[in-house]
């Protein structure tokens, strides 16, 4: 199992319609790409960093992760939405120790 997470902040005002639309569209677009399990849209609530949201998803193995990464719906979402609407982010991926 690989858990892929990304913590991020948007360029949109907090609480804006654009913010809601981004989170909703990400879930709609990405959650049912083949291989994606346990897709979660999360609020980042620690005051010890300045990110606002997170996505978390799990893949059975690296092959499933790679399939997601190059899936046209993911590639297009990164190009058309992520790169334009996200201000800063950090990707963190986990496997059981």
Binding site for its own copies (CB under 8 A): 2-4, 7, 23, 40-46, 48-49, 51, 53-54, 56, 90-97
Are 45 and 85 in contact by the 8 Å Cβ rule? The answer is no
* Between 60 and 92, CB nearer to its own copies: 92
Pick 4 or 33: Cβ nearer its own copies:
4
And the tokens for 11? 């360029």
Separation between Cα atoms, residue 32 and residue 73, nearest integer Å: 10
* Residue 71 beta carbon to its own copies: minimum distance, rounded to whole angstroms: 18
Q: How far is the CB of 42 from its own copies (least distance, A)?
A: 4
Of 43, 30, 25, nearest to 4 by C-alpha is 30
Minimum Å gap between C-beta 54 and its own copies is 5
Provide the 10 A C-beta neighbour count for residue 79: 10
């Amino acid at each position: 199992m690989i858990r892929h997470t990304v913590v991020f902040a948007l360029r949109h005002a907090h609480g804006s319609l654009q913010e809601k639309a981004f989170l909703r569209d990400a879930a709609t677009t990405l959650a049912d790409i083949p291989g994606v399990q346990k897709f979660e849209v999360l609020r980042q609530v620690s005051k010890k960093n300045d990110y606002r949201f997170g996505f978390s998803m799990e893949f059975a193995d690296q092959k499933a992760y790679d399939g997601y990464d190059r899936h046209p719906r993911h590639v297009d979402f990164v190009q058309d939405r992520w790169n334009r609407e996200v201000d800063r982010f950090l990707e963190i991926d986990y496997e059981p120790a």
